[in-house]
Amino acid sequence: MSVRIYNTLTRSKAPLVLLDSKRVRMYVCGMTVYDYCHLGHGRVMVAFDVVTRYLRSRGYVVEYVRNITDIDDKIIKRAQENGEPIDALTARMIEAMHEDEARLNVLRPDHEPRATAHIGDIQRMIQTLIVKGHAYAADNGDVYYRVRSFAGYGKLNNRNPDEMRSGARIEVGEAKEDPLDFVLWKAAKPGETRWPSPWGDGRPGWHIECSAMSTCCLGDSFDIHGGGPDLTFPHHENEIAQSEAATGKPYAMVWMHAGALRVNDEKMSKSLGNFFTLREVFEHHDPESVRYLLLASHYRSPISYTADSLEDARRSLVRFYTALEGVEAAAGEVDGSFAERFFAAMDDDFNTALALAALFDLVRELNRAKGESPQLAPALAFELKRLAAILGLLERAPSDFLRGEAALPLPAEEIEARIEARAQAKRSRDFATADRIRDELDSLGIVLKDGREGTSWVFDKR
């Protein structure tokens, strides 16, 4: 079965057909680095990390580009508020972004172009658009894209420009021919970062940055363009208009958009007090649990982030790691139906929810084998880890996750000492003391598991 992907442009699923045999060229809109990454950013990071991992597991050569917007109105404003140079702010936020994605086990993209390194490419694309009649330099020093010059405008969002024009207006200081026109080059205001250009000193508009960076890295046409749910309009619509008008070629063949992330069923917003950066969440929750939560729903489905949903994610990982505990994974023959279901789910528009369901059934089979057919357990554990790694999960030693020493109510050494004291009490047939030790540990969330190899334990936060 071939990989099928839902295309926002066609509003349908279709097999992935590549422009260049088995080479997948994918561009994803990245972060505007004026602040720390929030949960919504994490959703997009993880979604396209899994797309990349899965396609590579299927034998595709993936060239993954995710840009960095390092010049923008928000960046300028934040640097002024902080009293720091723009490049100092963006360098600090980029480093923090890389730290956050590493904790989420997100692989770095193959290319991470920055807008400020592509000013020349941006200006050349703008000049091409002016020559072709798709853009114009206004008297105020701005350069605008002439929306009505592009016949396909609105096709990504299935919107009619005439309908969009209703209610649109020209803001004070703008010199547009039409309210729908958008800025490609902004004339610099006093004290702002600027670059010289044929139209005067200024800086690029946001939309043109991605058009220039994507085509510079991947060519005029490429296979997949991805991003967050809020980018379909106007950002991605404008990218299509700019790029196809400039090159005369189709831009991205497939458009993928991750679903929205909501907090307690409300839009995440600082004004509502429900805005969380990734590092704030990581202070209280294991990053792998956050990754699991982001994978437990299909990437196009909305996710509601709640304390209960994150706790469910943690408990699911406890089940996985508990099944792996005490088993030395080794390649061997296993029932192939688990892998078949896993790959069938992922082939169908990267359905991680169904893929995880197949892995849960594999966990049940592993737990059964540990008790009834121990010789099969190593191969089942190997298969579980192999498939889970495609999702970026279960890559730690089970003890590292299950014990979670940073959150333990007792030092691990003391827990081990109490377990040994319990064992000694049992050997002495002092079962009342043994039961008391178990109950004391259980009240602290330390759950004991007796087995042929001795007693193991797991910390259950409850």
Judge contact between 65 and 110, C-beta under 8 A: yes
Question: In whole angstroms, how far apart are CA 212 and each of 113, 207, 220, 369?
Answer: 10, 9, 9, 55
Question: In whole angstroms, how far apart are CA 203 and each of 56, 173, 208, 254, 447?
Answer: 37, 16, 11, 30, 59
- Please name the helix (run of DSSP H) or strand (run of DSSP E) that holds residue 160, with its range, or none: none
Judge contact between 258 and 228, C-beta under 8 A: yes
Question: In whole angstroms, how far apart are CA 158 and each of 28, 29, 145, 151, 254?
Answer: 21, 21, 20, 13, 15
The alpha carbon dihedral of 245, 246, 249, 255 has a sign of negative
The residue count for the chain? 462
Using alpha carbons only, give the angle 342, 348, 351 rounded to the nearest 5 degrees: 60
Judge contact between 8 and 235, C-beta under 8 A: no
**Both tokens of residue 68?**
């960095």
Helix boundaries (H) for 233-286:
237-247, 278-282
User: Annotated binding residue at 239?
Assistant: yes
User: Annotated binding residue at 210?
Assistant: yes
Rg (CA), the chain: 27
Closest CA to 376 of 343, 318, 328, 315: 328
d(C-alpha 72, C-alpha 34), whole Å? 9
| All residues at 6 or more sequence positions from 17 whose CB lies less than 8 Å from its CB, including other chains | 253
User: Annotated binding residue at 257?
Assistant: no
Peptide bond into 196 cis (omega under 30): no
Helix boundaries (H) for 331-375:
337-347, 352-372
The DSSP call for residue 178 is S
d(C-alpha 376, C-alpha 386), whole Å? 16
d(C-alpha 412, C-alpha 175), whole Å? 67
Judge contact between 121 and 197, C-beta under 8 A: no
The alpha carbon dihedral of 215, 217, 221, 224 has a sign of negative
Any idea which residue has 């026109």 for tokens?
181
Helix boundaries (H) for 248-351:
278-282, 287-295, 307-324, 337-347
Per the annotation, binding residues for Zn(2+) are 29, 210, 235, 239
Per the annotation, binding residues for ATP are 270
Per the annotation, binding residues are 29, 210, 235, 239, 270
